[in-house]
């Protein structure tokens, strides 16, 4: 457990009040990356660490939650796929294990939000459009993460600097800004826009507490801003990642080869996740309905978990894909989570103090 009394927060915002974290910073739930070690380090540093559950079995999710709790007594969250058939079971695990926050990559249903809130769990969906923020706010979400197009992974086309103020003006719940953040100046800017804090994925991936293999981290650190691209070749949806030989090959291969690869990856993910074919088909139906996808896009989506695993777990930057925000091009070090959070908060305060008249 965390020893000693933690220092008080430098910034008190609606996010720190809502979740009980010391600093208005969220470490996002990145598949294969946001495991117990990174989440507990982020939480202990005073940020809101979020455990990624989509690539875990339900048994593994429960044990991962318990592992985080054995490492720190600070608040943390779990990220869920709202369209997964076993979302209800995962919600029950969160409630039973006393997790403080549930986050979602897709908008959860009104009923799922109500179930979590009735159990005292804070609900924070992630969205990429104002209308989606308005919808989850009307359904009772406690806060919302808004990711602009600079963000890594699946992303939209609207920049954070345009999307964030739109959403802040449209909803009456705390808004957490994501996409393009990595330092204290970004936190200061987000607060100036009216956000209650910032959420970061790539910046936390590139810490010494992250379990991503060294060879893959080196690829991120060597990248420039121009080395981060958006492609639909991996799973049929816009996906921001590092340029690589594999991505170039996928883009050149065409749809038939991609579909064949997706079938192989679906079979591999079935073994890793413990899901049966019927469950995977049902999840595919839910995904198709929730995102209005074609069947070929649903099948291509099977590429994502295993191609990310190849890089983020197996350490093969040539055989896997590396989801990345554009900030990967300006990050050049691997601090601990504690060092990173302290640096961001200190620099944000210095930045804001420097704006005051002498």
Inside any domain, residue 305 = yes
Contacts of 28 by beta carbon, 8 Å cutoff, 6+ apart = 34, 50, 79, 103, 126, 145, 178, 199, 200, 201, 204
| Model pLDDT, residue 2 | 46
Indicate whether 241 and 268 sit together in one domain.
yes
Per-residue pLDDT reduced to its tens digit, 221-230: 999 999 999 9
| Model pLDDT, residue 158 | 97
Inside any domain, residue 4 = no
Per-residue pLDDT reduced to its tens digit, 71-82: 999 999 999 998
Give the DSSP per-residue string, 109-130: PHHHHHHHHHTT-EEEEEESSH
List 50's β-bridge partners, or say none: 77
Q: In what order do the strands lie in the sheet with 239-242?
A: 153-154, 239-242, 228-231
Inside any domain, residue 219 = no
Inside any domain, residue 246 = yes
How many Å apart are CA 268 and CA 94, to the nearest integer? Answer: 27
Indicate whether 20 and 164 sit together in one domain.
yes
Indicate whether 152 and 269 sit together in one domain.
no
The pTM (predicted TM-score) of the whole model is 0.89
Query: Which ranges of the chain does DSSP label H, i.e. alpha helix?
Result: 14-19, 36-44, 58-71, 87-96, 110-118, 130-138, 160-170, 184-193, 202-205, 214-222, 245-253, 255-273, 277-291, 295-300, 303-312, 337-354
Give the DSSP per-residue string, 302-320: THHHHHHHHHHTT--TTTS
Inside any domain, residue 108 = yes
Indicate whether 122 and 241 sit together in one domain.
no
| Model pLDDT, residue 291 | 58
- DSSP three-state, residue 287: helix
Indicate whether 49 and 164 sit together in one domain.
yes
Inside any domain, residue 232 = yes
| Model pLDDT, residue 1 | 43
**First CA to last CA distance, the chain:** 44
Indicate whether 28 and 123 sit together in one domain.
yes
Indicate whether 103 and 162 sit together in one domain.
yes
Q: What is the residue range of 173's domain?
A: 14-212+331-352
From 190, 201, 199, 174, select the one nearest 30 (Cα to Cα). 201
Indicate whether 270 and 148 sit together in one domain.
no
> For residue 323, what are its two tokens?
């989801």
| Model pLDDT, residue 3 | 42
| Model pLDDT, residue 28 | 98
What is the largest distance, in Å, between two alpha-carbon atoms of the chain?
Answer: 66
Inside any domain, residue 130 = yes
CATH number at residue 97: 3.20.20.70
- DSSP three-state, residue 241: strand
**What separation in angstroms does the CA of 180 have from each of 106, 164, 302, 350?**
20, 12, 27, 20
Q: Which stretches of the chain score pLDDT less than 50?
A: 1-5, 288
Indicate whether 144 and 238 sit together in one domain.
no
Q: Answer whether 119's CB lies under 8 Å from 95's CB.
A: yes
Q: How many domains does the chain have?
A: 2
Helices 255-273 and 303-312 cross at an angle (nearest 10°) of: 70
Indicate whether 204 and 258 sit together in one domain.
no
Indicate whether 202 and 234 sit together in one domain.
no
Inside any domain, residue 113 = yes
Indicate whether 196 and 256 sit together in one domain.
no
How many Å apart are CA 181 and CA 177, to the nearest integer? Answer: 8
Report CA dihedral (292, 293, 295, 296) to the nearest 10 degrees.
170
């Amino acid at each position: 457990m965390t020893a000693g009394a933690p220092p008080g927060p430098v910034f008190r915002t609606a996010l720190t009040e809502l979740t009980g974290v010391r600093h208005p910073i969220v470490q996002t739930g990145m598949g294969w990356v946001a495991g117990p070690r990174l989440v507990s380090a982020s939480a202990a540093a005073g940020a809101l660490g979020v455990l990624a559950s989509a690539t875990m079995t339900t048994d593994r999710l429960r044990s991962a939650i318990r592992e985080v709790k054995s490492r720190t007594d600070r608040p943390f969250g779990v990220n869920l796929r709202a369209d997964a058939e076993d979302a209800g079971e995962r919600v029950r695990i969160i409630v039973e294990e006393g997790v403080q926050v549930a986050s979602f990559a897709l908008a959860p249903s009104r009923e799922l939000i109500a179930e979590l809130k009735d159990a005292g769990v804070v609900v924070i969906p992630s969205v990429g459009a104002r209308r989606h923020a308005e919808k989850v706010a009307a359904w009772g979400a406690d806060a919302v993460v808004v990711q602009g197009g600079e963000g890594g992974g699946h992303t939209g086309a609207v920049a954070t600097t345009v999307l964030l103020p739109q959403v802040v003006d449209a909803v009456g719940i705390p808004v957490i800004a994501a996409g393009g953040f990595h330092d204290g100046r970004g936190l200061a800017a987000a607060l100036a826009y009216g956000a209650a804090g910032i959420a970061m994925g790539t910046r936390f991936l590139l810490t010494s507490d992250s379990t991503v293999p060294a060879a893959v981290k080196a690829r991120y650190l060597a990248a420039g801003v121009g080395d981060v691209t958006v492609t639909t070749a991996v799973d049929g949806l816009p996906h921001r990642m590092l340029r690589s030989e594999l991505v170039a090959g996928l883009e050149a291969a065409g749809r038939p080869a991609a579909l064949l690869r997706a079938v192989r990856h679906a079979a591999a993910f079935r073994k890793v996740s413990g899901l049966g074919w019927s469950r995977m088909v049902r999840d595919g139906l839910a995904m198709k309905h929730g995102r209005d996808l074609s069947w070929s896009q649903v099948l291509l989506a099977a590429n994502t978990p295993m191609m990310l695993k190849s890089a983020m777990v197996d350490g093969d930057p040539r055989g896997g894909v590396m989801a990345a925000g554009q900030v990967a091009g300006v990050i050049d070090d691997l601090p601990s989570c504690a060092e990173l959070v302290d640096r961001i908060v200190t620099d944000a305060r210095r930045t804001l103090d420097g704006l005051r008249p002498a």
